[in-house]
């Protein structure tokens, strides 16, 4: 049996189609390999950038914690200043008048039977006595460091300022404003 031209052509076409398909698939595989290589490079670069950003965030978080501690320290110091400093003038005669007034209120509250007002007055009296003791202590300590002023009307001025901050607190706060350093990977 002899092969005619149609049979030969039908047998030779598949090998040609296979060769074309091989070339086409080899080209596609090469492009996929290149794409995979590019993806690998991008993945590695992204991983490095994430590591750098993570380092920056860690440094930023540490600095924020430091700032937070400094702010809390300054708040505590300001709270102590607000508690110990009073923005009023106190003289000996004013203090005596105030104590007499509070004492009279206490007696009046006891006579009338107003126990809540009585307790408020007693607490107020305690506060005034405590303030007077503090002033006397300050007078004694200040008179030892400078000559005492002889006067029947001594005026004690304790200044309260909302802008007063210790230099140590400000230097701590100033030391935390350094920007985070980038990690080199």
In sign, the C-alpha dihedral spanning 80, 78, 123, 87 is positive
For tokens 């008048």, the residue is 97
Q: What is the pLDDT of residues 58-85, one digit of tens each?
A: 988 998 888 888 888 888 887 776 655 5
Contacts of residue 27, Cβ cutoff 8 Å, sequence gap at least 6: none
Lowest mean pLDDT among 23-32, 37-46, 160-169: 160-169
Residue 31 confidence (pLDDT) above 90: yes
Neighbours of 77 (CB within 10 A): 15
pTM: 0.34
Q: What are the sequence ranges of the domains in the chain? A: 1-84, 87-160
Q: What is the pLDDT of residues 108-163, one digit of tens each?
A: 877 877 777 778 878 877 887 787 777 777 766 665 554 444 444 444 444 444 44
* 3-state percent helix, strand, coil for the chain, nearest multiple of 5: 75, 0, 20
Q: pLDDT band at residue 103, thresholds of 50, 70 and 90?
A: confident
């Amino acid at each position: 049996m002899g092969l005619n031209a149609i049979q030969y052509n039908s047998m030779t076409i598949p090998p040609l189609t296979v060769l074309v398909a091989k070339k086409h698939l080899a080209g596609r595989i090469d492009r996929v390999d290149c794409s995979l290589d590019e993806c690998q490079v991008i993945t590695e670069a992204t991983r490095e950038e994430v590591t750098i950003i993570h380092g920056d965030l860690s440094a930023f978080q540490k600095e924020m914690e430091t700032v937070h501690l400094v702010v809390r320290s300054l708040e505590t110091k300001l709270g102590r200043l607000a508690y110990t400093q009073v923005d009023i003038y106190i003289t000996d005669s004013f203090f005596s008048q105030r104590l007499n007034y509070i004492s009279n209120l206490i007696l009046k509250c006891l006579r009338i039977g107003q126990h809540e007002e009585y307790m408020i007055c007693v607490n107020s009296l305690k506060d005034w006595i405590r303030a007077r003791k503090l002033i006397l202590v300050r007078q004694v300590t200040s008179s030892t460091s400078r000559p005492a002023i002889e006067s029947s009307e001594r005026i004690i001025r304790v200044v309260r300022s909302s802008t007063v901050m210790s230099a140590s607190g400000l230097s701590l706060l100033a030391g935390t404003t350094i920007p985070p350093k980038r990690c080199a990977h």
